[in-house]
Structure 1
Amino acid sequence: MNAKRDEKTAAPEADMLRLDQQLCFAAYSTAHAFNRLYRPLLEKLDLTYPQYLVMLVLWERDGLTVTQIGERLFLDSGTLTPLLKRLEGAGRIARTRDPADERRVLITLTGDGQALRTEARCIPPQIGKALDMTPTELAALKSGLDKLRTALNGEGGSE
Structure 2
Amino acid sequence: MGSKSDLPVAEKAITMLKKFNVDYEIAVASAHRTPERVKDFVTSSDAEVFIAIAGLSAALPGVVAAHTCKPVIGVPVSGGVNLDALLSVVQMPPGIPVAAVGLDRGDNAAILAIEIMGVKDPKLSDKMKDYRKEQAEKIEADSKQVVADVGRK
Compare relative contact order (CA 8 Å, sep 6+) and give the higher one, 1 or 2.
2
Q: TM-score, normalised by structure 2?
A: 0.28
The structure where helix makes up a greater share of residues is 1
Q: TM-score, normalised by structure 1?
A: 0.27
